[in-house]
């Protein structure tokens, strides 16, 4: 049996609850700036999350929800401009501390670093948004903790396609069986599973009712020594929070 060598993290929804109070708010501010009366409510945004990637999400919304909108000649540029403004607003929100890490994330990363576990990120979100979140929650050097931060347009096919995970494996020169992934969504789990990676899912408000069959373990969060997780699917023996011992157990016990 191979030894667990690397942990690969999704960001949005997994490391932090970025969507409702971060990305969604930033999209709305960018729309207002552009003089658009579009408003992505909490529930509408839940539907729009079906489309991964900020630019892709704006395009989908335009086509599906604003059929009468007179599209500019250069639609790609229009969307790119909106998305750039959105990124600025998102970074402001992160800098204000509006988006804390989820329970257990900092502790697990700290332990992984102490034990020499290799780390990577595989996300659909744009790179500047990821580094801003890391820097403001974990410190200015934290992006360097991750051997690879595979983000945004680094691969053309975003999650649920497996490409971003395959990219990470290629760059790190690892096989799927060397790794354990942390995800929060059906799309994320499909991406990691199609890359043959074992996955722990920590659900959130937007993803709690999704189908996670195929996940190694489904939890409400990673937990802390004084705040145990709830197990929604899978087996953990006596553990009450995710640490490296449990990660090794989940990886080996197949
Ligand atoms: C994350 C996303 C992203 C963010 C917005 O998915 O879907 O689109 O909502 O990101 P995952 P950008 O967690 O599965 O990677 O606006 O930065 O593209
Ligand atoms: Mg996610």
Query: Domain check: are 131 and 192 in the same one?
Result: yes
Average pLDDT rounded to a whole number, residues 204-222: 96
Asked whether residue 107 is assigned to any structural domain, the reply reads: yes
Ligand 2 geometric centre to CA of 128 (Å): 16
Query: Which of 29, 49, 57 has most ligand 1 atoms within 8 Å of its beta carbon, as the pocket-test mutant?
Result: 57
Cβ(16) to ligand 1 under 6 A? no
**Per-residue confidence band for 254, with pLDDT thresholds at 50, 70 and 90:** very low
Q: Which atom of ligand 1 is nearest to the CA of 51?
A: 7
10 Cβ below 6 A of ligand 1: yes
pLDDT of 253 over the 80 cut: no
Can you spell out the DSSP letters for 94-146? Answer: HHTT-SPBPTTHHHHHHHHHHTT-EEEEE-SS-HHHHHHHHHHHH-TTGGGGS
Are 241 and 230 in contact by the 8 Å Cβ rule? The answer is no
Residue 209 lies in a domain: yes
Range list of β-strands (E), the chain: 6-9, 118-122, 148-150, 179-183, 198-202, 217-219, 231-233
Annotation says 12 is catalytic? yes
Reported as half-sphere exposure (CB side, CA atoms, 13 A), residue 174 has a value of: 28
Co-location of 89 and 109 in the same domain: no
Q: Is residue 152 one of the residues assigned to a domain? A: yes
Among candidate residues 10, 17, 163, 184, the one labeled active-site is 10
Average predicted confidence (pLDDT) for the chain: 96
Query: Residue 189: which of 130, 122, 138 has the closest Cα?
Result: 122
Residue 199 CB–ligand 1 contact under 6 Å: no
Q: What kind and span of H or E run contains 29?
A: helix 24-33
User: What pLDDT band is residue 1 in, cutting at 50, 70 and 90?
Assistant: low
- Which residues sit with Cβ closer than 5 angstroms to ligand 2, an ion? 10, 12-13, 184-185, 188
Q: Which atom of ligand 1 is nearest to the CA of 12?
A: 13
Q: Would residue 10 show up in a list of annotated catalytic residues for this protein?
A: yes
Query: Ligand 1, closest atom to CA 57?
Result: 8
Which of 64, 95, 126 is at the close of a domain?
95
What are 68-126's pLDDT values in tens digits? 999 999 999 999 999 999 999 999 999 999 999 999 999 999 999 999 999 999 999 99
* CA 13 to centroid of ligand 2, rounded, Å: 4
Same domain, 215 and 241: yes
Please check the confidence at residue 230 and state whether its pLDDT lies above 50.
Answer: yes
**What residue numbers bound the domain in which 26 lies?**
19-95
Examine the pLDDT at 249 and tell me if it is beyond 50: yes
* Whether the predicted pLDDT of 194 surpasses 60: yes
CATH code (residue 108): 3.40.50.1000
In a domain, 29, yes or no: yes
What pLDDT is recorded for position 224? 98
Give yes or no for residue 174 having a pLDDT over 50: yes
pLDDT of residue 2: 80
Domain contains 127: yes
The best mutation among 124, 182, 188 to test binding of ligand 1, ranked by most ligand atoms within 8 Å of the C-beta, falls on 124
Best mutation site among 19, 23, 132, 197 for ligand 1 pocket (most ligand atoms within 8 Å of CB): 23
> Residue 43's domain is classified under what CATH number?
1.10.150.240
1 lies in some domain = no
Q: Is 192 in the pocket of ligand 1 (CB under 6 A)?
A: no
Q: Are residues 12 and 78 in the same domain?
A: no
- Are 90 and 39 found together in one domain? yes
pLDDT for res 96: 95
How many domains is the chain built from? Answer: 2
Residue 251 has pLDDT above 80, yes or no: yes
Same-domain pairing of 207 and 248 = yes
């Amino acid at each position: 049996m191979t030894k667990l060598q690397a942990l690969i993290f999704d960001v949005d929804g997994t490391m932090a609850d970025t969507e409702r109070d971060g990305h969604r708010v930033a999209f709305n501010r960018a729309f207002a700036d552009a003089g658009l009366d579009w408003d992505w409510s909490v529930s509408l945004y839940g539907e729009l999350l079906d489309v991964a990637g900020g630019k892709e999400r704006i395009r989908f919304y335009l086509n599906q929800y604003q059929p009468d909108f007179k599209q500019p000649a250069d639609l790609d540029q229009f969307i790119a401009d909106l998305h750039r403004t959105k990124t600025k607003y998102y970074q402001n929100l992160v800098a204000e501390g509006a988006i804390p890490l989820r329970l257990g994330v900092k502790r697990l990363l700290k332990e992984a670093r102490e034990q020499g576990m290799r780390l990577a990120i595989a996300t659909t979100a744009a790179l500047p948004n990821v580094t801003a979140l890391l820097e403001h929650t974990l410190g200015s050097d934290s992006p360097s903790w991750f051997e690879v931060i595979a983000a945004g347009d680094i691969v053309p096919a975003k999650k649920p396609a497996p490409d971003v995970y395959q990219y990470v494996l290629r760059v790190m020169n690892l096989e799927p069986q060397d790794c354990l992934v942390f995800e929060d969504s059906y799309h994320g789990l499909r991406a990691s599973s199609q890359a043959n990676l074992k996955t722990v899912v920590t659900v959130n408000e937007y993803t709690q009712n999704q189908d996670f069959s195929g996940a190694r373990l489904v939890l409400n969060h990673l937990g802390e020594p004084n705040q145990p997780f709830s197990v929604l699917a899978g087996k953990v023996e006596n553990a009450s929070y995710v640490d490296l011992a449990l990660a090794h157990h989940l990886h080996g016990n197949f």
